[in-house]
Structure 1
């Protein structure tokens, strides 16, 4: 497991959000509400989808699966001039990210994240930074397909 360490420029996103936790994690309803209306967003940068987690401060220091966080289904936009009804805007601030390439369906994702936070991160020169975490679901993403590919972006800073 070797991520790319990447400097991210600020990103503007528009999408739908929902509060949830990992104990009862289920993002299906969020994506079901977003996908039929995403065509209303007129100033998209690309066809990529963003699956974003906005955690409260200290979330990873004292991990508790019952702690509530914001989950977003969104797309990147050029500006916030036209935000459709029932959607919200989110700015992902610039900063450093560890970018992991993930291949497989969602069933292997918990073990992959466990290896990031349980093995890679503690043995790296970095700690988690307090910025949104996200996955980019690009052209190689195929829901439920074992050959699906996506990028996992974890915000980091030096220890």
Structure 2
């Protein structure tokens, strides 16, 4: 009988340890997720330090993207992913020369051609990853100036 009681006590102790470790793992996973999102948001806001207009714009676009995703029928988790990814849509402006990016007034055709490179610069900055959020960010950065009629840039994509 004593052996059964001792075995039961050890079993309960092991269950308690497993629960503690599981809780710790859940907390660490949540912290890792928050850290990833914060790093992505920080990179997206980096353009703010070069162009004050872009700074608030990227945050607004993230929130608008979330609202549109929900209206389009995406589930909340997907809409949140889109919001975080959209924040990085203009990160490529980091690679645009100040005299063009910050120029008051109208750009020359040559300057506008240079501005039109920022989607591809952004896609290169983000890079190719297996991480779903970064891949979505890369796609959004690369295609956010494409238009349904094919008159957008950088690739003139048309339709869906």
TM-score norm. by structure 1 comes to 0.25
- Give the structure with the larger helix fraction: 2
Higher relative contact order (CA 8 A, sep 6+): 1
Greater strand fraction, Structure 1 or Structure 2: 1
User: Which of the pair has more CA radius of gyration?
Assistant: 2
